[in-house]
Chain A
């Protein structure tokens, strides 16, 4: 009999997850913190997923859940919470509505950003690790179902997964993929531009980018030999990190990545933040291990600021996997 441990970022999510399967009823429940096992801290080193399931002390599944209306970059930020798990071979689940009703004065149906689905498919493909996206079902008026029946599909998956000694390749996984595919097609049929990068992300010739931004390609992982460069325009000017800091991982996998490390790219990844100068940048977004701002230095090849270009981040990266120095 296996021993399961549910590591959580918040107790309501652990309570929800534990109730998905009788097999988890005697699982230990523990908060993600400094005392968590090293393998858990590794998974959480980019961002904290909602649930990390351990079998006999080894991570076997990571789950991210959201009932928020899945617009814009928000779901991309949440996708980033699954990236590290995939990179070390731990399967992931993103439980999210594919459409939900936005409330308020301009109430309307809002679709999941299709790029979140695309990103997880790419993460799965690149890392050869299953990433499932079961839809949180809704009523006809796009209100989320929350009478317990919404968990039926994911609950069946968890049960089969546990019965098969934590093998993610169970029959219900294919059912989830089929529903996911159907949902993804519907979203694209309603908004075709999702197939292309968003307006804030452009794919340019690397020469053009070098000509535009002085300081490239001095040092670091930016490579002039790559024909193309992906430029993400992030026009914030504050201490704000979300959702930009997480979405860089999504844009990396969508438009740059060819392999499991940040060095496996066929395009450079550049974050352009023209509204912040160097002095403000290092005041607001310093490299501090364990602080979320450290992630600015973990993924991109270059950060272009109003008055400077930062390129050499290797000093901040522990190894090719992009692992940060410590966790807090």
Chain B
């Protein structure tokens, strides 16, 4: 069985090979670059660490497009991540929290980062799921990065914007 850790590494290697800028990470094990904790808008600060916050496994940007990635070791486990990413991207208040978190870490100054406005209106944001197996249907807004014995397959959903689609061509090729 392919571990989530391995999916995480393969996904990193894909984006690294196409010169995307990594903005944040939260690996299943070990140390990588600092994570981006997006706090629940208006939420009461929980005493339980990370509760009510969204922390994506990997966040990359290139030419103003930002890809928010969740990695899993099985397609059976992605439902919660689909809901989480949909909430982050659809909800203006959550996008506001994302702006706050990025500003605190000076991420808008990074090479290829989107503008504040493009995060606020959601145009820059692309949700992505990475897991072993085959792409699932019904995820037209998502990029699905799937792995079969280490070989990757990238499916870009129909609703992913044209500019984002163009930026992602390098990874597909």
In the complex, A147 has a CB within 8 A of chain B: yes
Contact A67 B33 (CB under 8 A): yes
Residue A50 lies at the interface, judged by CB distance under 8 Å to chain B: yes
The digit string for A111-149, where 1 denotes a CB below 8 A from any CB of B, is 000000000000000000000000000010101101100
- Tell me how far the C-beta of B130 lies from the nearest C-beta in chain A, rounded to whole angstroms: 14
**Which of B24-32, B136-144, B145-153 sits within the interface?**
B24-32
A10 interface residue (CB < 8 Å to B): yes
Question: Is residue B169 contacting chain A, with contact meaning CB distance below 8 A?
Answer: no
Known A-B contacts A139-B106, A144-B34, A146-B34; A10 and B29 likewise in contact (beta carbons under 8 Å): yes
Q: Given A107-B104, A141-B106, A147-B21, answer yes or no on A11-B32 (Cβ-Cβ < 8 Å).
A: no
Question: Which residues of the other chain, A, contact B32 by a CB distance below 8 angstroms?
Answer: 12, 16, 67
Among B6-14, B75-83, B117-125, the stretch in contact with A: B6-14
Say yes or no for B158: interface residue by CB 8 A criterion: no
Is A312 part of the binding interface, using a Cβ–Cβ cutoff of 8 Å?
no
A9 at the interface (CB under 8 A from B): yes
Contacts of A107 in B (CB 8 A): 104
Q: Quick one: given A65-B31, A146-B34, are A12 and B22 in contact (CB under 8 Å)?
A: no
A199 at the interface (CB under 8 A from B): no
Q: Which residues of B contact A143 (CB under 8 A)?
A: 105-106
Contact A50 B31 (CB under 8 A): yes
Q: How far, in whole Å, are A66 and B33 apart by their CA atoms in the complex?
A: 9
Interface flag for A103 (CB, 8 Å):
yes
Chain A residues near B110: list those with CB within 8 A. Answer: 147
Per-residue B-contact encoding for A41-56, CB less than 8 Å = 1, 0 else:
0000000001000000
From A11, A68, A139, B9 is in contact (CB under 8 Å) with A11
Number of interface residues of B (CB under 8 A): 22
Q: Is B18 positioned at the interface, with any CB of A under 8 Å from its CB?
A: no
In the complex, which residues of chain A have a beta carbon less than 8 angstroms from the beta carbon of B105? 103, 143
Q: What separation, in Å, do the CA atoms of A15 and B104 have in the docked complex?
A: 28
Contact, CB under 8 Å: A12 / B34: no
Q: Does A13 contact B (CB under 8 A)?
A: yes
Chain A residues lying within 8 Å of B73, measured Cβ to Cβ, are: none
Kindly provide the distance from the CB of B85 to the nearest chain A CB, expressed in whole angstroms.
Answer: 21
Name the A residues within 8 Å of B29 (CB-CB).
Answer: 9-12
Shortest Cβ distance from residue B99 to the other chain A in the assembled complex, whole angstroms: 15
Q: Which of B21, B31, B37 is in CB contact (< 8 Å) with A12?
A: B31
B90 within 8 Å of A (CB atoms) = no
Residues of A near any B CB (own CB < 8 A): 8-13, 15-16, 50, 65-68, 103, 107, 139, 141, 143-144, 146-147
Binding site for A on B (CB under 8 A): 5-6, 8-9, 12-13, 21-22, 25, 27, 29-34, 37, 104-106, 110-111
Nearest first, the 7 closest Cβ-Cβ pairs linking A and B are A10-B30, A10-B29, A146-B33, A12-B27, A12-B30, A12-B32, A11-B5
